[in-house]
A = this chain, B = another copy of it.
């Protein structure tokens, strides 16, 4: 509420934005604090006024990226009401988010990789899975509504959500590897249709 806190939060964001820029260029695993400082237009020491460690910046950046994604999806989904359209919109809007800024995709997968169980069992990014869980829950809910409304076949909503996200992630992944061109809207559409073909009555 006080300006001080607002300013502080704003600066934190600026730093995290700088970090995301750096990640896009150098990867999450090979970035230097000085790069973040430069990208954010602050001094190296200043980073430690807002974050207590390098790791905290990584975590914060990931959270910010997921918030960006959420902010991108929210208005898109708000405009549609039918479950099938919501699923389609979720699918396409997700692609769109990454198509808008191709490097975001690389960063996301870097975060995922950083979130894998490591350091002798402890994942670096503990809430990576948490972010994913939210997406699953949201989609499962939408699908359940579709089932309830009779639009979808009476399948296990969570399984369906998982497999839809699996395909979405898989395609994004392929795109990150340069295997497919998701920018070409046709491809996601075709695939979504194939998937819905199995889902719809």
Contact = CB atoms under 8 A, between A and B. Distances in A.
A159 B193 CA distance: 12
A31 B109 CA distance: 19
Interface string A107-146: 0011011111111100000001100110010000000000
Contact of A173 (B43, B118, B120, B169): B169
A129 B180 CA distance: 11
A166 B171 contact: yes
Contact of A133 (B29, B117, B162, B179): B179
A172 to B, nearest CB: 9
A105 to B, nearest CB: 8
Contacts of A29: 29-30, 113-114
A40 to B, nearest CB: 17
A115 B27 CA distance: 10
A113 B109 contact: yes
Interface string A182-201: 00000100110011011100
Contacts of A178: 117, 129
Q: Give the interface centre of A169, A170, A190 by most chain B CB atoms within 10 Å.
A: A170
Interface of A: 3, 25-27, 29-30, 43, 106, 109-110, 112-120, 128-129, 132-133, 136, 155-156, 159-160, 162-163, 165-171, 173-174, 176-180, 187, 190-191, 194-195, 197-199
